[in-house]
Structures are given as structure tokens and as C-alpha cells.
A and B are shown apart, each in its own frame.
Chain A
Amino acid sequence: MALRSDQSQERMHGREGSPWTGLWAVVAKEMADHLTGMRMRILEILIVLTAIGTVYAATQNLRETVGQDPFILLRLFTTAREPLPAFVGFLGFLVPLIAIALAFDSVNGEFSRRTMSRVLAQPIYRDALLLGKFLAGIFTLALVLATIWLLIMGAGMIGLGVPPSGEEVARSLWFLLATIFYGGIWLAVAMLFSIIFRQPATAALASIAAWLFFTVFWGILAGVLAPILQPVRYGFPEEIIAQAQTELTLTRLSPNTLYTEVMIALLQPTVRSVGLVLPIQLHGAVLGTPLPLSQSVLLVWPQLTGLIAATILLFALGYVLFQRQEIRA
């Protein structure tokens, strides 16, 4: 809306026509590239195998252990069976991997193939090119994840013989949305690095380094930083709580933490809090009762909006950098 209304500002920068021009052409072309690419096929096979394996294991486990559960299909996602982790555990690192694979050479690949100036010679704005590439990545990711979602729900219905309830479907769809935006962050990060670095390998390495940092090291770092920022001097309970709160806040800077919290709240309806819970808050509570979906969503709303906003902001950063780049060089 703002884009269209301020015609005068656009004229000031000498732009003619809409920045959306050619967007969908870019999206279509990019998606075609992604979906026919060998790289994507490998990743798809990997994730489908993972899904089948974990869901089969989960089905076996649920059949043996669970008698009655109103959210039994949701437990397909979260039930682990040794030696396999739960499906969501795999998603936690497979989704960033797919996202990075989709985007690490999106911009600098065009440069190295010397196709960037050719593309921009068409009546397509840079805005449309970048947004189109990003949207194509998101859509591809969404397509893959939606396929897996359908696969899991179908396998669950066959394996467990239970039709999904409306709430289960709604919860798993919210979870799907969160997963897509979790992938969106890494997509934006990879795209950012592909704008910054001219070598695709460097961009890929930087993306994977960032991913590793947040997946493995950030949790350790938060544990080290929290006592420095919020030291426990006298051992009061308040100090200990404050330190734990600080550590939690620090770990929440990592998209992995945000995604894990969203996943727990959405897929386990009995979870009432993803943060610190004092015993006094549970006094008189009827434990083990599921929260309504709206309350579960509200519980992780900051995390969810955080994921979405981070995706958009990272894209905005990449956009600004891309717009300032010299193309003809």
C-alpha cells in the first residue's frame, strides 16, 4: 500500500512502474530451477526418508504405549524411539540445511554465471528479482514441508487408525507455518551471505557456520554469559531466578530456541509455559489438561512473531545491501 501511494517519492528516485513487475516470472523460474535441481532432489529424498523412518518408529511406539490420547496424531511428530530421535528433532537441523541449500548461491551464482546483467536487462526491477528469489525459496520450502506434513498425517491415520481432530489439524498447520518461517530465517541468512560474498562456497560456509553457531555454540555461550551479566552474589532466590531468566533471554536470540519453544507449545497441548515456572504459579492448577489452541498460540506468539519478523528484517537487510551493489562490474 505504502509502495503505491507515494508516487511522488518514487519519481524523486527516478523509478518508473511498479517494483512488482516481473516478480511472479522470477518466482516461477526460480521454483522450476529449485524443483528440478539435483541438489533439491537429494534433500527431498533425505527428508522424506527421515519422515518415513521416524513416523514409522513413532507409530510403533504409540501403538505399544499410548492407550488414549486426544492428540495422538500430534505425538507422531514428537515421539522418539531409540535410536531415532523424534521427527521434530530431525526437522530442527534439516530445515536450516534445506534453506541454506536453496539460497546460498541465489545471488552470487547469477554473478558467477554472468547472468545477472542479462536478467536485469529484462523489464524486471532488482526488487522483484530479490523478492522473487526469496519467495521462490519460501514456496519451495513450504511445498516440501506441506508434502511431508500430508505424508505424516496420512501415515499416522493408516498406522494408528484414528482420524485427525480439527484441533490436531489446526495445531499441526500452525506448526507447519512456524517451520516454514524457521526455514525462512535461514533462507534469508543464506541469501544475505550470497549477496555479501561473491563466492558461493564462501557464502555456503558462512551460512553453515552461522547455523552451527546458533545450533551448537550459542546455548553454551549463553550459559557462560548469563553468570557474567547477572551474577549470583548472595545466593538469594531472586538472583538465581534473574540469572536463569537472563540465560533464557540470551538463548532466545537463537532461532533454534524460538523454533523449539514454538514446536513444544503447539505439539504438546498440555504445556502451559515455555519459560520459567515458579511453583507458586502452579498452585491449584489442574495439571495435564490441554490448553485451547488459541492459548497455546498465544503462549508462543512472541516466538512466532519473532521468527516471522526476523525473516522479514533479514530480507530487508539483504535487500538494502543488494540495492547498493554494483551489478555491471
Chain B
Amino acid sequence: MKHITKYTIAIIVILTMLAAVPQLALAQTGTEEEKPAFEVGELALTTTFPNQTVEMGENVSIDLKLRTSTEPQTVQLAVNDLPEGWEASFRGGAKVISAAYVEPGTDTNITLRLEPSDTVKAGTYRFLVTAKSSRATATLPLEITVQEKLPPSLTLTVDLPTLRGKPNTTFRYNATLKNEGDENLAVNLVADAPPGFIVTFKMTGQEVTSVPLDANQSKSLSIEARAYPDLAAGSYPITVRAEGGEASATLNLTAEVTGESDLTVTAPDGRLSGTAYAGSETPLKVIIRNNGSAPARAITLSSSEPAGWSVDFVPKEIDEIPAGQQAEVTAKIRPSDKALAGDYMVTVRAQPTDGTTKSADFRITVLTSTLWGVVGVVLIAVAVGVVAVAVLRFGRR
């Protein structure tokens, strides 16, 4: 009996508990309904982004939300304190509206469209949107900052603004041209180079003078400066300008031209020939001219001549020939004793320490001595003498 009592009590407790659970659950549900996520009261006017920055001349559309927690109501919409030059209109469902109907639990979405006129200047403008129903009034302050448009702007940059090279090298600057403005531009490229330079612009291997450049686009540009070969050594400034509409960019480049000597071997009258007697020394004037842009130093003179000949230079070495100057050297040419009469080639070379060797072929006409000619005449004279002696010795009547 005791057992039955115990079980009975347990069952009662369990049943009691089971009876209590739904009540607990009900109690919780009741609490949620009483406390919603936000309590707006009679009427609320909200927007996600109340502060906006726009560019000049741009229309602004702001999404507004109307909400009520109590009664459905009709709301009159208006913008108070409209700054000068602005026009405001409300839109809903693709229509221009001036009032909206609000039900509890449902947001009414309205778009406020603010249209600045051309006279509107940059600055911060405040708007106060008012929603007014028969039961309540809600306001929403808005702040629109009007910004001036980004001005058209170009930049021209180069990795290596100073290059160094010989007069015959091409100075190639790798530049980057960037349009930092918001407008598409046609950029003209202009170079201002000292005389003696030809500047060209190349883009992907093609020579260009004008480049279309979209907003915020950058293009790499190759600026090539070619110097005339006889340009004197020195530092030459090159100014490159990129002009597109009102924007322009300037780039200062420097080409450092190092000089180069360029020797020419010739003769005083340009005639590369001479005559020499076999076996006797004949001087031949040789002119070494420096047509380059830098002095040639320590020029050694050498020659290749036919076998058995000797060619000596006086002086053997020239210390220096300034650019554009010349030096005279005497080549003492002595053909071989057994040289046959006729033309021979003698190559004269001039080698500076810091340049290329230059040479010239001299054509030497070898003459043979007239000594044997005299001997022949003597021979004939002897023969005539023999006749004379015979006439004197044997002449008779």
C-alpha cells in the first residue's frame, strides 16, 4: 500500500510538472510579443545613410523608411529647410508622391530625390524631412556634402631620368603616363630637346605623338632621344610635356653624352698615293684627323707593308688629338731593294687607346733607280768611242 502511495505521489508530481510546461512556454511567448526588436512608437522616419557625399551636379536618391507600431495612418511628407537651388521630391512605386500610408509591422519605402541645380556650389547642405500624420510627427535630418568633381590631371613619371651614352646610342627612357582625372583624354606628347637631338615617343613599338587615355588609365611610354653622331660631350636637358585638354604634365630628362673619338687616316691633299724609289727612303705625309667628339689619346701608328719594306713613323705615337683637330705624321717608306717597279699597297693604321683602330691604304708607286739607265748610256758611249778610235786608228785615204 505504501508503494502505491509513493507511485501516486510521483505521478501527481509528474503530471503537475507536465501541466506546468505549456504554461511556461506560453508565458515566454507572451514576453516576446510585448517586447518587439524596436519600439518606434506612433511614427518613425529612418534611412540607412543619412550623410552622403556626392559630386557636383549629381542627383541624390535617399531611401527612406516609414514605420509605425500602433495604428495605420496616412503620413504627409515634406522637406523643410530646403537649401537654395535644390529640388526635392518623394517617390514611391515609381510615382511622385506627397503622402504615404503606414501600417504597423510593415515598412513603407519611399525614395527622396534631391536634385541640385547648376548653381549649387560645393559644400554641406542640411535637409530636414518631416513626416506628419494625424497622430504623430517624425523628422529626419539629412546631410549632403556636395563635392567638386576631380579635376582632369595627368602624371608623367620615369624610372631613370638621367641616362648616359655615346653620341651614336639611343637614349631610351621608360616613362609612365597616367590620367588621374575622371575624364577621358587625348594626350599630346611634345618634347623640347636641345639641338642635336631627335626625340620620338613610342608605345608598343609604334611611334606616337598623341595617346588616348581613359580616366584613371595609365600607359607605359618609351621616350627615345637620338643624338647626332658629332654631338659634343656634355649633359643635355630634355623636357617632355604631355598635354591633354586642360591637364598637362612635364617631365625633365637628362641625356649625358659621353664623347667618342673617331679617327681618320688620310693625306694632306686627300690623295692616298705616293711614289718611292726602290731601296731608298721616301717621306710620306699622313694626316690623322679626329672627327669624333672627344679627344683621342695615345695613338699608336702601325702599318702593314710588303715583305722587305720598312715603314717608320715620326712620331711613332701621338699623345692626344683633340676633337676636330688633326695631327701630321711622317711615314718614312723604304721599299725593298729588290722591289719591282709598280704599285704596292701599304696600310697605315692609327690606334687610340680608347677607340677603334682606323686605317687607310696608301698606294705606293715604286720607281726603280735611273742608275742603270746611266750605265746603259755609258755603254753606248763606249761603243761610239770604239768606233771613234777605229776611225782614228784605221781611217785612211
Contacts and interface: CB of A to CB of B under 8 A. Distances in A.
A282 B379 CA distance: 30
A245 to B, nearest CB: 13
A6 B396 contact: no
B363 A281 contact: no
A26 B309 CA distance: 57
B199 to A, nearest CB: 48
Contacts, number: 125
Interface string B325-346: 0000000000010111111111
Contact of A291 (B341, B396, B397): B341
Interface of A: 2-3, 6, 9-10, 13-16, 19, 125-127, 272-273, 277-278, 280-286, 289, 291-292, 294-295, 298-299, 301-302, 304-306, 308-309, 312-313, 315-316, 319-320, 323-324
Nearest to A322: B394
Interface in B350-397: 363, 365, 367-368, 370, 372-373, 375-377, 379-380, 382-388, 390-397
B15 interface: no
B395 A10 contact: yes
Given A286-B342, A289-B343, A313-B383, A15 B394 contact: no
8 contacts: A2-B388, A19-B391, A126-B395, A127-B391, A302-B376, A305-B377, A315-B387, A323-B395
Q: Which 5 A-B pairs have the closest CB atoms?
A: A284-B306, A305-B376, A323-B394, A312-B383, A286-B343
B183 interface: no
Contacts of B392: 2-3, 6, 9-10, 13
B395 A316 contact: no
B308 interface: yes
Interface majority SS (helix, strand, loop, mixed), chain A = helix
Contacts of B345: 284-286
A241 B125 CA distance: 119
Contacts of B377: 305
Contacts of B343: 285-286, 289
Interface string B17-56: 0000000000000000000000000000000000000000
B380 A19 contact: no
Nearest to B361: A286
Given A305-B377, A306-B379, A312-B383, A319 B344 contact: no
B380 to A, nearest CB: 5
A272 B380 contact: no
B4 interface: no
B396 A323 contact: yes
B342 A320 contact: no
A295 B345 CA distance: 18
Given A6-B392, A10-B392, A301 B372 contact: yes
Contact of A324 (B309, B380, B394): B394
A110 B351 CA distance: 81
B312 interface: no
Contacts of B94: none
Contacts of B368: 295, 298-299
Contact of B397 (A14, A281, A283, A302): A14
A264 to B, nearest CB: 14
B1 interface: no
A60 B301 CA distance: 52
A284 B307 contact: yes
B362 to A, nearest CB: 11
Contacts of A14: 396-397
Nearest to A310: B383
B273 to A, nearest CB: 10
Contacts of B308: 280-281, 283
A283 to B, nearest CB: 4
Interface majority SS (helix, strand, loop, mixed), chain B = mixed
Given A289-B343, A298-B341, A305 B379 contact: yes
B308 to A, nearest CB: 7
Interface string B73-107: 00000000000000000000000000000000000
B305 interface: yes
Given A3-B391, A280-B308, A281-B338, A13 B372 contact: no
Nearest to B387: A316
A313 B389 CA distance: 12
Which of B304, B309, B386, B391 has the most chain A CB atoms inside 10 A of its CB?
Answer: B391
B339 A281 contact: yes
A290 to B, nearest CB: 9
A15 B339 contact: no
Given A298-B341, A302-B376, A284 B395 contact: no
Contacts of A16: 397
A316 B376 CA distance: 18
Which of A3, A15, A16, A286 has the most chain B CB atoms inside 10 A of its CB?
Answer: A286
A3 B388 contact: yes
A301 B387 contact: no
B397 A305 contact: no
Contact of A320 (B363, B385, B390): B390
A272 B341 contact: yes
A305 B380 contact: yes
B284 to A, nearest CB: 15
A319 B390 contact: yes
A141 to B, nearest CB: 19
B341 A304 contact: no
A316 B343 CA distance: 42
A298 B373 contact: yes
B305 A301 contact: no
A4 to B, nearest CB: 11
Interface in B288-328: 304-309
A55 B309 CA distance: 43
Contacts of A302: 372, 375-376
B340 A272 contact: yes
Contact of B376 (A6, A272, A301, A324): A301
